[in-house]
């Protein structure tokens, strides 16, 4: 198959997705649903059983330490995006949090910083773009990675630059770290699956809407602007309260890297 045929096939998939769309935020819904089914099949066959085994074997203290370790690595990305969003006080706090946990906390295994005023924050480049007025764009269901959007997909790529994991030179070690992070995150989502089972709704739509609403709350730091329903709503989904339960796509946190 030559390049012309490949591009024609991709164009046909995109056009078919647009033609069958029902939600304005999800113009590629048919294609996204196909990818969602693929992700779900991989999750049921491989990822979920591995996460269940990990959760069963690993003691609670061990699981907490693993989560703390990866959370500490994430604080480097968070601090970089604090600076890009001009949240300088928060940047100082998150940078100090990384230093404290990396030293006193033994490479982040113990979250010493949270005992004091250095609380955990969540910032990424997708939120940074949203902070400066960039809309989320079309919703995307990425293979293996799960829910995203055009803006957040770009953000994922940019966040690889400050990421300490990406800077690991040995490819095998780097991939093992990604895999360990993915299994740990997947294990943390096992209990949240009950929300989908009890909701009796279309799981694809539930995950999509929850993801988009959650991202709006994150961009506006839990205080999104109120939507006036007598006016035309922009491309961002309607905000919900920051405390609303959000179910995550099972494979959303399984990161991979290309050698």
125 within a domain of the structure (yes/no) = yes
Give me the pLDDT at residue 153, please.
97
Give me the pLDDT at residue 237, please.
54
- pLDDT of residue 247 exceeding 80, the answer is no
Give me the pLDDT at residue 224, please.
86
106 within a domain of the structure (yes/no) = yes
Nearest alpha carbon to residue 249 among 139, 126, 138, 148: 148
- Structural contact between residues 149 and 27, judged by C-beta atoms closer than 8 angstroms: no
11 within a domain of the structure (yes/no) = no
Which tokens sit at 16? Answer: 């078919």
Lowest pLDDT segment from 43-52, 107-116, 194-203: 194-203
Which tokens sit at 24? Answer: 């304005």
167 within a domain of the structure (yes/no) = yes
36 within a domain of the structure (yes/no) = yes
The DSSP secondary-structure symbol of 145 reads: T
**How many separate domains does the chain show?**
1
For residues 238 and 227, what is the distance between their CA atoms, to the nearest angstrom? 7
Contacts within 8 Å (CB) and 24+ apart, 91-97: 93/117, 93/118, 93/119, 93/121, 94/118, 94/121, 94/123
Give me the pLDDT at residue 228, please.
61
Residue with tokens 């045929």: 5
- Structural contact between residues 221 and 82, judged by C-beta atoms closer than 8 angstroms: no
Range of the domain at 185: 20-219
- pLDDT of residue 128 exceeding 80, the answer is yes
Q: What phi, psi does 146 have (nearest 5°)?
A: 90, -150
Position 236 confidence tier, pLDDT thresholds 50, 70, 90: low
State how far the alpha carbon of 253 is from the alpha carbons of 93, 110, 116, 135, 183, in Å. Answer: 25, 22, 28, 22, 8
Q: What phi, psi does 169 have (nearest 5°)?
A: -75, -40
100 within a domain of the structure (yes/no) = yes
Higher pLDDT, 196 or 20: 196
144 within a domain of the structure (yes/no) = yes
The residue-averaged pLDDT of 45-50 equals 96
Q: What is the pLDDT of residues 134-151, one digit of tens each?
A: 999 999 999 999 999 999
Q: What is the pLDDT of residues 8-31, one digit of tens each?
A: 444 444 444 444 447 899 999 999
Instruction: Give 231: exposed, middle or buried? Use CB within 10 Å, 0-12, 13-18, 19+.
Output: exposed
Give me the pLDDT at residue 135, please.
95
This prediction's pTM = 0.78
Higher pLDDT, 234 or 81: 81
243 within a domain of the structure (yes/no) = no
Position 256 confidence tier, pLDDT thresholds 50, 70, 90: very low
User: What number of other Cβ atoms are within 10 A of residue 118's Cβ?
Assistant: 21
- pLDDT of residue 186 exceeding 90, the answer is yes
């Amino acid at each position: 198959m030559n390049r012309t045929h490949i591009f024609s096939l991709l164009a046909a998939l995109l056009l078919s997705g647009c033609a069958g769309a029902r939600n304005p935020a999800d113009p590629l819904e048919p294609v996204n649903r196909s990818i969602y089914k693929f992700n779900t099949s991989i999750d049921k066959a491989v990822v979920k059983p591995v996460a269940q085994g990990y959760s069963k074997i690993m003691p609670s203290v061990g699981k907490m330490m693993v989560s703390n370790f990866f959370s500490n690595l994430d604080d480097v990305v968070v601090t970089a995006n604090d600076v890009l969003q001009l949240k300088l006080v928060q940047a100082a706090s998150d940078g100090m949090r990384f230093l404290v946990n990396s030293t006193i906390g033994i490479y982040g295994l113990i979250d010493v910083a949270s005992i004091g005023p250095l609380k955990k924050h969540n910032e990424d480049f997708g939120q940074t773009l949203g902070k400066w007025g960039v809309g989320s764009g079309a919703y995307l269901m990425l293979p293996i990675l799960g829910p995203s959007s055009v803006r957040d997909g770009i953000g994922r790529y940019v966040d690889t630059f400050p990421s300490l994991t990406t800077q690991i030179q040995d490819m095998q070690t780097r991939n093992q770290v990604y895999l360990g992070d993915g299994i740990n995150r997947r294990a943390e989502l096992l209990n949240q699956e009950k929300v989908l089972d009890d909701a009796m709704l279309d799981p694809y739509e539930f995950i999509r809407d929850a993801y988009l609403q959650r991202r709006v709350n994150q961009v506006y730091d839990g205080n999104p602007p109120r939507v006036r329903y007598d006016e035309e709503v922009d491309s961002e989904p309607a905000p919900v309260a920051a405390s609303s339960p959000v179910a995550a796509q099972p494979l959303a946190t399984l990161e991979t890297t290309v050698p």
